[in-house]
């Protein structure tokens, strides 16, 4: 539980033909209801996708996300991948992901993920 002292969020989305861009900037400042300690988090994310093929069933894209708090802990994540909508509600995609945790003593200096993800989704 937290008490928010000050926060804001800005989102931007634009699309031109098959190219999409999404960006977000978020900042929150508050005080923990349990410890009374103040905190600040800043996050920004950028994503660009390009849809192509008949009915834009295929896409490729890149995403970057960064989060930092007032104790100099930060996480950055880069994703590069592509996908295919087999039918309108079924997607198969593959992505290279590199996620790093910085200055997290409890996780160790080598915490994070670096590798390939392959997934399929069904939406309703």
* Structure confidence by residue, pLDDT tens digits, 39-81: 899 999 999 999 999 899 999 999 999 999 988 889 999 999 9
State how far the alpha carbon of 12 is from the alpha carbons of 6, 17, 48, 68, in Å: 21, 17, 12, 20
pLDDT above 90 (res 124): no
Q: Within 10 A of 70 (CB to CB), how many other CB atoms are there?
A: 12
CA dihedral 99, 3, 5, 8 (to 10 degrees): 40
pLDDT score, position 38? 84
Give the model confidence (pLDDT) of 82-122 as tens digits.
Answer: 999 999 899 999 999 999 998 887 766 678 899 999 999 99
pLDDT score, position 66? 97
- Read off the pLDDT band of 5 (50, 70, 90): low
Give the model confidence (pLDDT) of 7-25 as tens digits.
Answer: 889 999 999 999 999 999 9
């Amino acid at each position: 539980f937290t008490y928010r002292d000050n926060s804001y969020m800005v989102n931007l989305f634009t699309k031109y033909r098959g190219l999409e861009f999404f960006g977000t900037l978020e900042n929150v400042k508050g005080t923990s209801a349990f410890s009374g300690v103040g905190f600040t988090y800043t996050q920004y994310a950028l994503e660009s996708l390009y849809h192509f093929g008949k009915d834009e069933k295929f896409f490729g894209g890149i995403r970057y996300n960064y989060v930092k708090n007032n104790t100099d802990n930060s996480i950055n994540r880069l994703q590069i991948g592509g996908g295919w909508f087999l039918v309108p509600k079924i997607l198969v995609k593959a992505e290279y992901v590199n996620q790093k945790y910085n200055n997290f003593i409890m996780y160790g200096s080598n915490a994070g993920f670096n590798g390939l993800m392959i997934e399929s989704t069904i939406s309703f």
